[in-house]
């Protein structure tokens, strides 16, 4: 059986950290707490470790997760990042959720990229992005990010007026996809529309009714789907400024799909007919 990572004696609050006379080492000033995000869930935490290990600031876990998370714990010890073994109740309190899966981490937020900076790095060829206009539910954002990662979406675009950001709940639902899909901030809708078109993207407003049949229309190779809020839909002016209006046909037994479910259908339709690259 593999040996576990170095551990402090029982009763010490921070494993893997020592200082003079057994005291914790002097810490550098902590960053603004608003710059940090509390993640929970194994895949969410492991994704940060895989892509941005330097963003990890603190780790909490239950005893049963030690074998699975040994590489992360060793990295914490080597880089003087505190980790603490706690019980289920403490972890639930820290996460604010019973769905913590035995691990919680405080990490630095990954700030969204500016649109022009992102566009300079978009490769030529087929590409699909999502523009979220008014979507606010963190669980929907997490589900959208998961579908976006699965289908190879190049970015999720967020208007400046939107308060939407990755939260612990969104990251857990995303199952690691929050680290895989870039978030891009849009400062001005009209300027963004023009910049995206110059980069070869067509924009498709997704509407409940009155749009072209998603499964019958020819989809552009470079496409931005614009999705509206869960309740009120997207801004009328934005919808009118798009190049296409698309609807997902159905039985009519329900008014529409949840925005996260709709995103998955839209992305599958694009991927099936317009392979990326």
SS (H, E, C) 181-247: CCEEEECCHHHHHHHHHHCCCEEEEECCCCCEECCCCCCCCEEEEEEEECCCECCHHHHHHCCEEEE
Task: Give the side-chain half-sphere CA count within 13 A for 258.
Answer: 10
Q: What is the pLDDT of residue 19?
A: 36
Q: What is the mean pLDDT of each run of 10 residues along the chain (277 residues)?
A: 41 40 44 79 97 97 97 97 96 95 96 95 94 90 97 94 88 95 95 97 94 95 90 81 95 89 96 75
Nearest to 137 by CA among 250, 46, 261: 261
Q: What is the pLDDT of residue 8?
A: 39
Q: What is the pLDDT of residue 9?
A: 33
pTM, to two decimals: 0.84
DSSP 15: B
Distance CA 277, CA 275 (A): 7
Distance CA 189, CA 182 (A): 19
Q: What is the pLDDT of residue 231?
A: 59
Q: What is the pLDDT of residue 277?
A: 56
Distance CA 124, CA 222 (A): 9
Q: What is the pLDDT of residue 83?
A: 96
Burial 201-214 (b: 16+ CB within 10 A, else e): bebbbbbeeebeeb
Task: Give the side-chain half-sphere CA count within 13 A for 82.
Answer: 15
The helix or strand, by DSSP H or E, that contains position 78, with its residue range, turns out to be helix 70-78
Q: Say which residues have a Cβ less than 8 Å from residue 142's Cβ, sequence separation at least 6.
A: 169, 170, 171, 172, 173, 174, 175, 177, 178
Coil, helix or strand at residue 176:
coil
Q: What is the pLDDT of residue 128?
A: 97
Q: Decide if 148 contacts 116 (C-beta within 8 A).
A: no
Q: Say which residues have a Cβ less than 8 Å from residue 76's Cβ, sequence separation at least 6.
A: 5, 16, 56, 59, 82, 83
Question: What are the strands, taking DSSP E only, across the chain?
Answer: 36-40, 56-61, 83-85, 103-108, 113-114, 127-133, 155-159, 183-186, 202-206, 212-213, 222-228, 244-247
Q: What is the pLDDT of residue 129?
A: 98
């Amino acid at each position: 059986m593999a040996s576990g990572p170095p551990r402090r004696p029982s009763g010490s609050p921070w494993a893997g950290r020592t200082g003079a006379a057994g005291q914790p080492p002097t810490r550098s000033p902590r960053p603004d707490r608003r710059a940090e995000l509390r993640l929970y869930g194994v895949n969410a935490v492991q994704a940060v470790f895989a892509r941005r290990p330097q963003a990890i600031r603190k780790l909490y876990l239950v005893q049963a997760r030690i074998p699975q998370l040994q590489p992360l714990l060793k990295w914490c010890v080597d880089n003087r990042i505190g980790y603490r073994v706690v019980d289920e109740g403490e972890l639930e309190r820290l996460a604010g959720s019973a769905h913590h899966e035995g691990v919680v981490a405080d990490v630095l937020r990954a700030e969204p990229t500016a649109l022009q900076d992102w566009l300079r790095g978009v490769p030529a060829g087929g590409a699909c992005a999502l523009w979220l206009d008014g979507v606010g539910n963190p669980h929907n954002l997490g589900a959208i990010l998961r579908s976006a990662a699965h289908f190879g979406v190049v970015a999720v675009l967020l208007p400046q007026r939107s308060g939407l950001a990755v939260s612990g709940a969104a990251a857990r639902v995303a199952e690691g996809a929050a680290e895989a899909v870039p978030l891009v901030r849009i400062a001005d809708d009209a300027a963004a529309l023009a910049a995206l078109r110059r980069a070869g993207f067509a924009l498709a407003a997704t509407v409940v009714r009155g749009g072209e049949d998603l499964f019958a229309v020819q989809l552009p190779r470079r496409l931005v789907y614009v999705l509206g809020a869960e309740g009120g839909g997207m801004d009328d002016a934005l919808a009118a400024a798009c190049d296409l209006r698309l609807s997902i046909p159905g039985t009519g037994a329900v008014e529409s799909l949840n925005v996260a479910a709709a995103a998955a259908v839209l992305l599958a339709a694009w991927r099936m007919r317009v392979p990326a690259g």
